[in-house]
Structure 1
Amino acid sequence: MSSFAYTEPLRLAQIGVGYWGRNLLRNAAAMPGAEVVAVCDRDEDARDVAGRLAPEARLTGDLDSVLADPSIEAVIVATETPTHASIATRALEAGKHVFVEKPLAQTEAEAEALVALADARDLRLMVGHLLRYHPAYRHVESLVRAGTLGQIRYLYSVRVNLGIVREHESAFDSLAPHDLAIALSLIPGEPVSVSARGHAYLQPGGPEDVVFASVTFEGGEIAHLHCSWLDPHKVRRTTVVGSEQMAVIDDMEAAEPVRVYDKGVGTPASERDGTVPYADALSVRSGDVLVPRIDRAEPLRLEVEEFASAIRQGRAPRSDGREGLAVVRILEAARRSIGAGGAPIDVQRGA
């Protein structure tokens, strides 16, 4: 059952009904306590799809008419990435709460402007960092918050497959926002630098098909990301290494997506007085493997419900504009690092 229910339904509009936009619309149209009243897309075929997913909605190719409708409280933006910032800006200026599919924007400056505008208008701004709502990732986040894994030392993610190849954004820009949002939620402190290398094999001179990137945090923790749409395997896996335990989240394992390993390397208290060489004092612990029960709820449904709940409750959503800005800041620094042959780029200043 939905966690929110109100006398008056939240009146929503969606802009864009492409590959992922169809999934968003399906969930928004089925959400209790909300009503999709308009769907906008320039493509007639896309509007036909929207008509089947949200049969009560008004279908149009005219964005101005949607934003001018005072009865529409909130807008979902699911267009191509280069248009995210401009459409979200117009929606906020029209007084609408805004959900933007990831990434929030293409540049740090655009993302900063969106956050400032939402704050100034007291409107909710949310970005579609889907894994922040995935029950498997939320379970591991709860373990981190409880201290079960101990101090987080590093994490690494592999997000690869064969396709979908995009013309206007790299594999890193397309895939990494998911894992960057998770890294920011699990690792304490701020990211300080990123080093990235990538190559465009399929579209020479165009966006990179494969990227390897390492983000360093202020406490010395590292998040390493491998993103590619030119790979023989479809892999969606994140490994989190803590001082006490380690966790692996595998999106491709529907039945058992999380495994927690009671493994680590420690120094026995009796050997910390320096009387033996440090390496000799280290002890390897290899304990049980726990496979917790994970809720099977659809992450996208939880995501759109969070948007509606945040609006009705007047609070910041779980993946708010500031989180979106933090991810965009790393993406921009990674692009600069790739252009500089992998040189570390300061995340805070982007230079």
Structure 2
Amino acid sequence: MPLTRRHLLHTAATSLAATALPSWAAETKSPLRCGQIGTGHAHAAGKMEAMRKLTNLWEVVGLAAEANDAGETAADAQKAPYAGLKLMPEADLLASPDLKVIAVETRIENSCATALRCLQAGKHIHLDKPGALEHAEFKTMRQLAEQRGLTVQMGYMLRYNPAFELLFQAVQEGWLGEITEIDAAMGKLADKSTRGQIGKLAGGGMFELACHVMDAVVTLLGRPQSVQSFSTPTQKDGVQDNQLAVLAYPRATATIRCNHADPFGGPRRRFNVTGTEGTFEIVPLESGKVNLSLTRARGSYKKGTQTIQLTVPKGRYDREFMDLAQVVRGEKALAWDATHDITVHETVLKAAGVRKEA
């Protein structure tokens, strides 16, 4: 494993421990000023709820509509968790005194251009997944942030899930030996509205949803040598609702399924890593439940198979914004850099059949 991959895994594995602020921090540090652009992303309301809840870390100064908004943001602003926030033009939000961070929660087609404007205004950003429709646009934006010393935290929530933190630790410390395979699935039974949304995307569900597990695969194994994509639609409406991607590495393969026609998609969501000395299975994906098998004892875990139930925070996105606050304050580095994010975006597009192998 290259040094850079070891460093990423080590930093990712320790990120949750680093997010637990000491009690004195809330007393001696003023909250960081932040805002949000757009409410069109599926995670937008949850991200706003997390920021407003963490009052010792964040002060939300306002909400701005995304480009070409048809009044959706104004309507959403009357609902929880936006109620009481100032609705303002994007330019006014970006010009707010001492504003440090913008959460970009627009529709995917507007997300990268919005993020670029925020960076040009000197703001750190939380950018929800998958970040852009076009790879060149994403790469340009992400490299600009790196050049200017600004943070781009991608909204891949599994990074901060305790089961994935333990997985990153297990791989970084060699518990599983050499990884030989990863098997992941992230499906759901899509309603008519969801089918309409993913039907508008060239990459379908693999692009919009399975990017979460793709980020974890790249965290563990890096850039694949090749990517094969398969799409087998279940209906005649043209929606790519049943997809498979196979990622090839020098000594491993990773298979990722995204099935939006699965009535039991939620409970079946999984992430399974197999190595020469052990297996680490997370199922269901966000449950904190881990099935760990080891050829010999590792740390506090015994040889053989055991089931571990980790405590998952109630706030799905709280850890993201706890981590981001420390990064913006200069107390730590974000584990995932521009090279990683660019690789993930390119790999997602290939897995979704949008971008072809060179």
What TM-score bracket applies, with the shorter chain setting the length?
Answer: 0.7 to 0.9
Q: Which moved more, 1:173-182 or 1:65-74?
A: 65-74
2:238 aligned with 1:222: no
The offset of 1:203, in angstroms, is 6.4
For residues 323 and 80 of structure 1, the distance between their equivalents in structure 2, rounded to whole angstroms, comes to 23
The offset of 1:233, in angstroms, is 1.3
For residues 54 and 46 of structure 1, the distance between their equivalents in structure 2, rounded to whole angstroms, comes to 7
The offset of 1:232, in angstroms, is 2.1
User: Could you tell me which residue of structure 1 aligns to residue 15 of structure 2?
Assistant: none
**TM-score normalised over the length of structure 1:** 0.82
The offset of 1:322, in angstroms, is 3.2
Pair member with larger Rg: 1
User: Could you tell me which residue of structure 2 aligns to residue 268 of structure 1?
Assistant: none
Taking the TM superposition and a 5 Å limit, the aligned residue runs for 1:90-129 are: 90-129=117-156
Instruction: Find the residue that maps to 1:17 and give its secondary structure.
Output: coil
User: Could you tell me which residue of structure 2 aligns to residue 312 of structure 1?
Assistant: 329
2:221 aligned with 1:197: no
Q: 1:199 to 1:301 in 2, by over 3 A?
A: same
Unaligned runs of 5+ in 2: 1-18, 66-70, 297-302
For residues 151 and 217 of structure 2, the distance between their equivalents in structure 1, rounded to whole angstroms, comes to 23
Unaligned runs of 5+ in 1: 265-286, 340-344
For residues 305 and 210 of structure 1, the distance between their equivalents in structure 2, rounded to whole angstroms, comes to 35
AA partner of residue 289 (structure 1): T
Taking the TM superposition and a 5 Å limit, the aligned residue runs for 1:197-346 are: 197-202=230-235, 204-205=237-238, 207-217=239-249, 219-234=250-265, 235-251=268-284, 254=287, 257-262=289-294, 288-297=304-313, 298-313=315-330, 316-336=333-353, 345-346=356-357
For residues 208 and 92 of structure 1, the distance between their equivalents in structure 2, rounded to whole angstroms, comes to 33
AA partner of residue 169 (structure 2): S
The offset of 1:226, in angstroms, is 0.4
For residues 181 and 197 of structure 1, the distance between their equivalents in structure 2, rounded to whole angstroms, comes to 19
User: Structure 1, residues 269-323: CA drift from partner, whole Å, max 9, x if none?
Assistant: xxxxxxxxxxxxxxxxxx7321234132244111111112111116542344433
Instruction: Find the residue that maps to 1:214 and give its secondary structure.
Output: strand
**TM-score normalised over the length of structure 2:** 0.80
Identity between Structure 1 and Structure 2 (%): 24
2:59 aligned with 1:35: yes
Q: 1:209 to 1:35 in 2, by over 3 A?
A: same
- The count of residues paired between Structure 1 and Structure 2 equals 312
For residues 177 and 229 of structure 1, the distance between their equivalents in structure 2, rounded to whole angstroms, comes to 14
AA partner of residue 317 (structure 1): L
CA contact 1:133–1:299 (8 Å) conserved in 2:
no
For residues 65 and 76 of structure 1, the distance between their equivalents in structure 2, rounded to whole angstroms, comes to 15
The offset of 1:20, in angstroms, is 1.4
RMSD of aligned residue pairs (Cα, Å): 2.4
Q: Which moved more, 1:292-301 or 1:233-242?
A: 292-301
The offset of 1:72, in angstroms, is 1.6
Instruction: Find the residue that maps to 1:85 and give its secondary structure.
Output: helix
Q: 1:314 to 1:203 in 2, by over 3 A?
A: farther
The offset of 1:2, in angstroms, is 4.3
For residues 28 and 213 of structure 1, the distance between their equivalents in structure 2, rounded to whole angstroms, comes to 34
For residues 202 and 81 of structure 1, the distance between their equivalents in structure 2, rounded to whole angstroms, comes to 24
User: Could you tell me which residue of structure 1 aligns to residue 218 of structure 2?
Assistant: 184
Instruction: Find the residue that maps to 2:175 and give its secondary structure.
Output: coil
For residues 193 and 253 of structure 1, the distance between their equivalents in structure 2, rounded to whole angstroms, comes to 28
The offset of 1:140, in angstroms, is 1.4
Q: 1:253 to 1:104 in 2, by over 3 A?
A: closer
CA contact 1:128–1:319 (8 Å) conserved in 2:
no
AA partner of residue 244 (structure 2): F
Instruction: Find the residue that maps to 1:191 and give its secondary structure.
Output: coil
User: Could you tell me which residue of structure 2 aligns to residue 25 of structure 1?
Assistant: 48
